[in-house]
Amino acid sequence: MSDEKIPPVVSPPTPAPQAAVPPVRPDRVGRASDADERDRRSREAPPRYLKDNDTPFALAWRVLTSRYRSMRDKAGRDFMRRTLRIGISARIFHPEPGATGLRSKNLQYLEESIAQWVMSRDVLVFMIPTVNTSGLLHPSNITLRHYARHLDGLVLQGGADVSPQTYSEAATRPEWSGDRARDLYELELLHEFVDAGKPVLGICRGCQLINVGFGGTLYQDIASDVEGASSHVNDLYDRHRHTIVFPKGSTLAGMFPKAGEALVNSIHHQSVKDLGRDITVEAYSHGDNIVEAIRYQRARFVMGLQWHPEFHSAGGVELLDCTPILDNFLRAARETRF
């Protein structure tokens, strides 16, 4: 017997059973292809809510105009709702000789009534300080022009006399020398706001300063300089009052059409003498014709009142209600804010 080994017989692998595939019924072949076609057409067709025969360009135009209207309406709402920002010039307290503590410092402040009167129409009030770009302690590049650019209007409040030096005269008495430093500060403020097209309302001293700012002069003391003049200041202060009249055709006559004359407080010993350039009279005191209100004609709103409207509400209903003047000033501020 041979030693040669006979290899085992290997059976071929048994194939795995395959799942039975059901035969496709001929009646369903057409249905499947119809559904696929409908899906394709649905994906390619525009939404049924669009207009018939609409074009991509027409739709794009409508989208753009809708976006524009939305942005325009929002901008309009923001424009109308933005709170006005009104600046008020500072009163200045100069150090007293030999004083110590706070009285030895330069102080700048607001009289409360003027701030509250302006804020009564829901506006923001900012006191505008003097600036000194060459100061040694705290130099700054900020100028009064920046305030005129960012605020919407200016109120020049009352206070110390305007210096006769500011309108090229000498003081006839030492006590009438006024506040030259404040004059220079407020004159710069006045012209910056006028140049920026912003409205200005001057109260008492502010009225006089507007006249001087455009080349006018003042009576240094009404009692001394105007023969037969009525008393325009006494110890009653804001309770002292007199009647004014509005010239026909003046702005104030238009604001108060039913008031041929009105009662105002009187707290001033100086007043407008020679009118400045393009300045017209808006009110006179009854009897002695002292100028009680002025307007600069070459601006939307630059007006000066010799009385104090901020004191009128507390003075009784017989005093002139000056809210129409305030409202006119604030409307001008809204219209010229940019």
Segment 235-240 shows an average pLDDT of 91
Residue of 232, 310, 312, 322 with catalytic role = 310
State the CB neighbour count (10 A cutoff) for residue 320: 24
Whether the CB-CB separation of 149 and 110 falls below 8 Å is answered with no
Q: Considering the candidates 232, 268, 269, 308, report the single residue annotated as catalytic.
A: 308
**207 in catalytic set:** no
* Number of neighbouring beta carbons within 10 Å of residue 309: 22
Reference 301, options 252, 245, 244, 246; nearest CA is 252
- Report the pLDDT value the prediction gives residue 121, as an integer from 0 to 100: 95
pLDDT at 254 over 70: yes
For residues 37-57, average pLDDT: 72
CA pair distance 273, 221, nearest whole angstrom = 11
CB within 8 A of 52, min separation 6: which ones?
A: none
pLDDT in tens, 285-306: 999 999 999 999 999 999 999 9
Residue 319 has what DSSP assignment?
A: B
Question: 95 and 104 in contact (C-beta within 8 Å)?
Answer: yes
pLDDT tens digits, one per residue of 139-151: 788 999 999 999 9
> At the fourth CATH level, which superfamily is domain 79-335?
Class I glutamine amidotransferase (GATase) domain (3.40.50.880)
Indicate the DSSP class of residue 103: G
Q: What is the 3-state secondary structure (H, E, C) of 182-213?
A: HHHHHHHHHHHHHHCCCCEEEECHHHHHHHHH
64-68, 83-87, 220-224, 317-321: the lowest-pLDDT one: 64-68
What is the distance between the alpha carbons of residues 12 and 166, in angstroms, rounded to a whole number? Answer: 124
10 Å CB burial of residue 177 (0-12, 13-18, 19+) is middle
Residue 193 is which amino acid? F
Give 276: exposed, middle or buried? Use CB within 10 Å, 0-12, 13-18, 19+: middle
**Paired sense of beta strands 153-156 and 200-203, if any:** parallel
Distance CA 90, CA 131 (A): 11
310 is catalytic: yes
Domain ranges of the chain: 79-335
Quick one: pLDDT at residue 24?
Answer: 54
Number of H helices, E strands in the chain: 9, 13
Helix (H, G, I), strand (E, B) or coil at 254: helix
The answer to whether 228 touches 204, Cβ cutoff 8 Å, is no
Average pLDDT score over residue span 322-333: 97
Within 10 A of 131 (CB to CB), how many other CB atoms are there? 17
